[in-house]
């Protein structure tokens, strides 16, 4: 498996905030950098992403670790990879679920937008008449899937 430095460079936009080697090479960091790279490569604009949703399903029944989750619910903490990605694309909803378990203790799924946890994100959805944005996001997902192995912890991501 290639290192994240080899895949996305040492100056990649999304990085785990903890330098401890145990807190490195997390699948969440990989997937958020992969999605960011595709969004940027396709030149998607904030208006094209606004109100869209990235669905990420992880196969770790233990859910999202504290380092990746860091900064959600605590704006003074150094942002983890989820908040970093969400702040980079503030109009994009990020919904995370975990296979056979909870994303966080007692929580089946989380949705983040603009770096903040949402409890009722239906108020944030907006109608979008652009089929081009849907096509470009689907293409980004397809390109990401071609370079990652099926055994990656993150099983899928779908942008709707």
Give DSSP secondary structure letters for 56-72: EEES-TT-S-HHHHTTT
The first and second tokens of residue 92, run together, are: 């994009």
Could you give the residue ranges of the DSSP H alpha helices within the chain? Answer: 4-8, 27-41, 46-49, 66-69, 81-88, 131-146
**Share of residues in the chain with pLDDT > 90 (%):** 32
pLDDT digits (tens, 9 = 90+) for 50-69: 999 999 988 887 888 888 89
- Which DSSP helix (H) or strand (E) runs through 75? none
Enumerate residue ranges in the chain where pLDDT < 70. Answer: 1, 21-24, 119-160
Which pLDDT belongs to residue 152?
Answer: 39
Phi, psi at 64, each rounded to 5°: -80, 130
């Amino acid at each position: 498996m290639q290192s994240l430095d080899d895949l996305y460079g040492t100056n990649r936009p999304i990085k785990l905030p903890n330098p401890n080697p145990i807190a490195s090479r997390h699948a969440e960091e990989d997937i958020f950098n992969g999605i960011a790279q595709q969004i940027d490569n396709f030149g998607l604009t904030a208006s094209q992403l606004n109100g869209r949703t990235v669905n990420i399903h992880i196969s770790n029944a233990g859910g999202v670790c504290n380092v990746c989750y860091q900064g959600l619910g605590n704006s003074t903490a150094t942002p983890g990879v989820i908040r970093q990605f969400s702040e980079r694309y503030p109009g994009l909803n990020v919904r995370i679920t975990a296979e056979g378990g909870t994303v966080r203790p007692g929580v089946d799924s989380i949705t983040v937008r603009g770096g903040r946890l949402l409890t009722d994100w239906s108020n944030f959805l907006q109608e979008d008449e652009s089929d081009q944005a849907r096509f470009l996001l689907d293409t980004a997902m397809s390109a990401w899937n071609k370079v990652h192995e099926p055994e990656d912890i993150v099983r899928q991501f779908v942008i709707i």
